[in-house]
Amino acid sequence: MRFTGGELTCRKDWFDILKYAKSLGFSVSCNTNAVFHDPKISELFSRLNLEQVTVSIDGCKENHEYNRGKGTYDTAVMNLKKMSALGVKLRVNTLVNNRSVNDAKSMLDLASQFAEEINFFTVVFWGRGADLEKTDGVALESHLEMSREIKKLKKEYPHIRILHFAEVSQKTAIREDESLKFGLKPGSPSGATTFNISSHGYYSCGGYAPYIDEELFLGNAQKENIFDVWQHNKKLEKMRNDSEKLIIFCNNCNKFKRGDCQGSKYETELIRLMNPEVKNSNCILGDGPSLLKLV
């Protein structure tokens, strides 16, 4: 069970919620911007003994603060160091945009001192970030070059897991060989291996779905049992069928097979299906129509 935000430590009861989830037997992780000035928060994280605490640091100080505001970098790094010293299992998340695309080495230098894992990832320009692609979008060629640089640098950082170029999505997707082995449909993580519950209790196949269209909600935890929704919801079943088609489509793409493309993301293509003006800079076919029209 992964807790994300906004910033979860803004809730007065955040510690109690995570502690309760641990008491139920879940593996629990969370995301934080680590911009908290109360030293007790780092200590509270250490007391929870979470499987992972992910700290967002978006490149060097200048680039991080471009994203997250002046003064946030030093505070985040200070708390990263503090939590590391307290034994918290840490991951660093680095948002890749046209600025931080040059920060791979400096981020690996930082993260390898304090974290067990680092993930370089891009976001979907939607919701409040819909207009940011013009200023922050990174071209596929630039991101691919960064990925190649990271591959070369990996041998210099043997003590940290390095994820990049959508490896997280690919590792948590259901591949075709796995689908045969376990009797599951292949597909992207959204609605196949991951499921989201909003702070208001709404179920969705992924984190972006609620902001695409309210019709994509799959029920509410206060009314519908999560197991029943997961197993029997017809809307979710259609989403899985579409996701399966996308996975198969990408597996037949030579660029994807060579590692020159991140592959499709179901929610991204769902946004593009409903909003044709949206492009997908992570896909070589991202300037055309949504792949959901092609599969």
The model's pLDDT over 146-199, given as tens digits with 9 standing for 90+, comes to 999 999 999 999 999 999 999 998 889 998 888 888 888 899 999 999 999 998
Contact in structure between 160 and 108 (CB atoms under 8 Å): yes
On whether both 80 and 136 belong to a single domain, the answer is yes
Which two structure tokens, joined as six digits, stand for 24?
């139920």
pLDDT at 268: 92
Calpha distance 29→1 (Å, rounded): 6
Same domain, 159 and 222: no
What's the pLDDT score for residue 118?
98
Does residue 142 share a domain with residue 14? yes
Supply the pLDDT for residue 175.
85
Contacts of 142 (CB under 8 A, 6+ apart): 98, 101
Q: Same structural domain for residues 8 and 79?
A: yes
Question: Cβ distance 166 to 120 under 8 Å?
Answer: no
Domain boundary among 165, 190, 208: 165
153 and 8 in one domain?
yes
Three-state DSSP state, 117: strand
What is the residue range of 207's domain? 172-293
**Structural domain total, the chain:** 2
Residue 278's pLDDT is what? 87
CB 119 within 8 A of CB 94: yes
Clarify whether residues 153 and 8 are in a common domain: yes
Contact between 57 and 104 (Cβ < 8 Å): no
In this prediction the pTM is: 0.94
> Are residues 77 and 42 part of one domain?
yes
Query: Are both 190 and 118 inside the same structural domain?
Result: no
Q: Which of 139, 165, 191 is the last residue of a domain?
A: 165
pLDDT at res. 122: 92
Is residue 176 located within the same domain as residue 154? no
Q: Look at residues 214, 208, 176 and name the one whose alpha carbon lies nearest to residue 191.
A: 208
Give residue 156's pLDDT: 97
Domain-terminating residue out of 165, 186, 213: 165
Say whether both 135 and 184 belong to one domain: no
Q: Do 24 and 98 reside in the same domain of the chain?
A: yes
pLDDT along the chain (295 residues), means of 10: 94 97 98 95 98 98 96 98 98 97 98 98 86 90 96 97 93 88 90 93 91 92 96 96 92 91 88 89 89 93
Q: Which CATH number goes with the domain that contains 135?
A: 3.20.20.70
CA-to-CA distance for 177 and 272, rounded, in angstroms?
28
The single-letter DSSP state of residue 10 is: G
* Backbone phi and psi for residue 58, each to the nearest 5 degrees, phi listed first: -100, 60
Do 228 and 283 have their domain in common? yes
- The rounded distance, in Å, linking the Cα atoms of 142 and 98 is 8
